[in-house]
Structures are given as C-alpha cells and as structure tokens.
Amino acid sequence: MIAWLVTNLIAAALLPPLSLVLLLVAGLILNRRRPRLAMSLILLSTAALYALSTPWVGGLLLKTLEISSPLNPATLRTADAIVVLGGGRRIAAAEYGSDTLNGISLERLRYAAHLHRACGLPILVSGGKPGGGTLSEGQIMKHVLQSEYKVPTRWIEGAALTTWDNAQLSAPLLQAQQVQHIVLITHAWHLRRAVPLFEAQGFSVVPAGIQFSSMRLDSILDLLPTPAGLRDSTFALHEWLGILWYKLRSIIA
C-alpha cells in the first residue's frame, strides 16, 4: 500500500493540474531574479492549462491510446472468458452506507453484462482496495453484477492495486481452468496499457473497449476550457506515464 501511495503521489506531481501549479509557482518564485525565465514558465503553464482543458485536445490525447475498434461480436466465439478491470471505488459512500463503485467501474461492468448476455461467457472481475476501504472492487463488482444485472461471476480477484496487478493476480485463477482466450473489458484509452500485460501472462486477448474518443472539432465549444476536457487530458497523460513506467519496470525486473 505504501508503494501504491508513493507512486500515486509522484504521478500527481507529474500530471496536470498539480504539475502546472508547480510550474506556475516556480515562475512566481523566480520573478525577481530571473524575470524572463519566470515569465516563460508562467506563460507555459497558462497555455498548457488552457489547451489541456479543451475537450478537443482531451479527445485527441485519448485517441492516441486507442488500439482497437469497437468489438465485433463475432470475435466472441473464440473466447473462453470475459475479464473486467475495476476502475475505482467511492469509499464509504454516504448514500449506500459502504464502499461502492465509481462511474468508470460501472461503465465497464454494464458492458460486461451486455456481452455476457450475448455470448454466455463466464466473467472474472478484478480489483482490490487501492486507497483503503472495506470492500474490494472485485467484491463490489460481483455484487452489482448479481443484484442489479442478474449476471453471475465465476471468478473474483480482489487484491490488485494496479493494472500490473490485475494481470499478475488474475492469471492463476484463469489458467487453473484452462482459460487461454479472454475478452478484456476496460476503457478504450486503458487498453494500450492493459492488453500487453495480459498477453505477457500467456493469454490471447480480444480488446473490448468502451467510450471511444473523437478527433472531430464539432463545435466552437470544443475549444473552450472545461473540467471534463482537463479530466480527459489527465487520463491520457496518466496512461502514457503508466506505459512508460511499466516499460522501465519490465527492463529493471
């Protein structure tokens, strides 16, 4: 858990908006001694904040992560199981009186139920307790699938704190049942990082992405800064940072 916390603190410092705030603070500190450098840092942080906050730039960045098209149902015929990756929880949600899934996890779970009804494949849910809490993502996903979608869960992996862990800890559960071909459900922007990790465990992976992004500039509103635009840009930069970290980790290991 300490390693997870340290990793996330470092990531937060490298990603917007905190990285841009730090850049701005550096410019303000240097304003008296190095006014030209200070002004450059202030302008850079301001311009970056504006660009990264626009829905169009956020969509462009997310699009760079997509490695597949929406799933073709015909590809389900060769698969042995559906794997759903958790995307986060709300700890101690007041309205539920306990931990519950966040919107990202629910979107993935809904698609898993949809695909299960189309093909009947057994489902594995994966996710631990990053950040603490009482219930793992895996436990909550199983409960939601059964109580709200009337869909059974064959396997629960409830210890993973990262995408790396999702693959490492899910593999033994699946391999014990001779599962070789999996349908991997996560957001389209997460597949570039997730698919190679499961392939490294020996699985043949069918990417099943959700929420594909658009590169179109549909309206002038797409060039106005919004919280959603900054969120999308941060998601994309977080993924690229994670991909780089996993590449370094595999080399070191």
pLDDT tens per residue, range 27-47: 999 999 999 999 999 999 999
- Quick one: pLDDT at residue 253? 66
pLDDT band at 213 (very low <50, low <70, confident <90, very high): very high
- Quick one: pLDDT at residue 251? 86
User: Domain of 240?
Assistant: 2-64+222-252
**Residues 39 and 99 grouped into a single domain:** no
- Quick one: pLDDT at residue 82? 98
**Residues 228 and 180 grouped into a single domain:** no
Taking residues 172-187, what's their average pLDDT? 98
Q: What is the DSSP string of the chain?
A: -HHHHHHHHHHHHHSTTHHHHHHHHHHHHTTTT-HHHHHHHHHHHHHHHHHHTSHHHHHHHHHTT--SPSPPGGGGGG-SEEEEE---EEEEETTTTEEEE-HHHHHHHHHHHHHHHHH---EEEE---TT--SS-HHHHHHHHHHHHS----SEEE----SHHHHHHHHHHHHHTTT--EEEEEEEGGGHHHHHHHHHTTT-EEEEEEES--------GGGGS--HHHHHHHHHHHHHHHHHHHHHHHHHH-
**Residues 87 and 200 grouped into a single domain:** yes
- Is residue 217 included in any domain, yes or no? no
Q: What percent of the chain has pLDDT over 90?
A: 91
pLDDT band at 2 (very low <50, low <70, confident <90, very high): confident
**Residues 122 and 78 grouped into a single domain:** yes
pLDDT tens by residue, 93-132 = 999 999 999 999 999 999 999 999 999 999 999 999 998 9
* Structural domains in the chain (count): 2
- Is residue 17 included in any domain, yes or no? yes
Question: How far, in Å, are 24, 68, 69 from residue 52 at the CA level?
Answer: 15, 24, 25
**Residues 140 and 234 grouped into a single domain:** no
**Residues 90 and 203 grouped into a single domain:** yes
**Residues 59 and 77 grouped into a single domain:** no
Closest CA to 229 of 24, 49, 90, 67: 49
